[in-house]
Amino acid sequence: MNFIFENNRNAAKELNGRLFAGERLLIMTGLLGFALAAITALYIGLNGAAVLPEGNLESAFSFNAALGVFILSIAAILPLSVCDSRKRALFRWVFMIGGLYSYAVETIQHFRGINPRYTKVGTIADSIFGYLFGLESLVIIVFTVLLAIPFFRKDRPVARPLLVLGIRYAFVSTMVAFAGGLWMIAGMSRYTGDAGNLIVLHGLGFHALQTLPLLGWLLERASSDGKIARRWIHAGSLAWTISILLIFIQTALGQTMFELTALPALTGVMLLVWLAFAALSVRRLLKSTGGAPLFNLLKDRGLSR
């Protein structure tokens, strides 16, 4: 009995150390977003993006692709959360059901010519779907915050400390992105001031879930010195986080990020700093592996590495 129990515990530990392990449903949900984006792009190419009276298929395309990336990112990091099977299942189903509902409302309503959030010409049912869309967004925010908590707890063992360090920074950036999303919901628009566009803040903030864990993953695979690797992750992640905060300030001032003024220029510098550390991490990985095939470099073995 003890032998069986130990084997089961080791198997659970293994699943909690590999990216995407045990998250097939979330992976499929994320890939569905890319499939819907591809179908929408094909339709736009043949018929254009506008669907009267309110539909905009470009919005449906970008939303489905972005949500697909977000759900895949959650699928990747969920096994590292050290949550038990029940909590993991709860997170999995919340993100999966929320994603499916969001895909459906965003895509179907735009193809019908209805604004899925703030319709002025739709029926009462369309308005209800829009309100539920907003409620679903709040639920996703709450559960993302709940998912972040285990990564910051000090009383739990961390299987892959470099990767988890990047994930911690990514969640900080994600919270700023959520603030931008709530701002859009409250103002019923992505625009603010004379030229501010909250979608830039919202989108780039969420991309931290891919860019910042990447630093930890690369340096982990390169078997880098722990102190140096942590310094690089801190430096690159702080640069990214500062860029998000600068975008927040510029947007709050009602100004566009696409102008040659101080804040956008400094934002660009910070992003280049992150890119420099990412390039250095790739270089170190390639050097440490002696030019191993790309497939072997991309394969994530988790605790077995």
Confidence at residue 296, expressed as pLDDT on a 0 to 100 scale: 62
Rounded to two decimals, what is the model's pTM? 0.88
Three-class SS of the chain: CHHHHHHHHHHHHHHCCCCCCCCHHHHHHHHHHHHHHHHHHHHHHHHCCEECCCEEHHHHHHHHHHHHHHHHHHHHHHHHCCCCHHHHHHHHHHHHHHHHHHHHHHHHHHHCCCCCCCCCCCCHHHHHHHHHHHHHHHHHHHHHHHHHHHHHCCCCCCCCHHHHHHHHHHHHHHHHHHHHHHHHHHHCCCEECCCEEHHHHHHHHHCHHHHHHHHHHHHHHCCCCHHHHHHHHHHHHHHHHHHHHHHHHHHHCCCCCCCCCHHHHHHHHHHHHHHHHHHHHHHHHHHHHCCCCHHHHHCCCHHHC
Which of residues 101 and 290 earns the better pLDDT score?
101
Task: Quick: pLDDT tens for 94-119.
Answer: 999 999 999 999 999 999 999 998 89
- With a cut of 70, say whether residue 14 has pLDDT above it: no
- Return the percentage of the chain with pLDDT > 90, whole number: 70
**What is the rounded average pLDDT for all residues in the chain?**
88
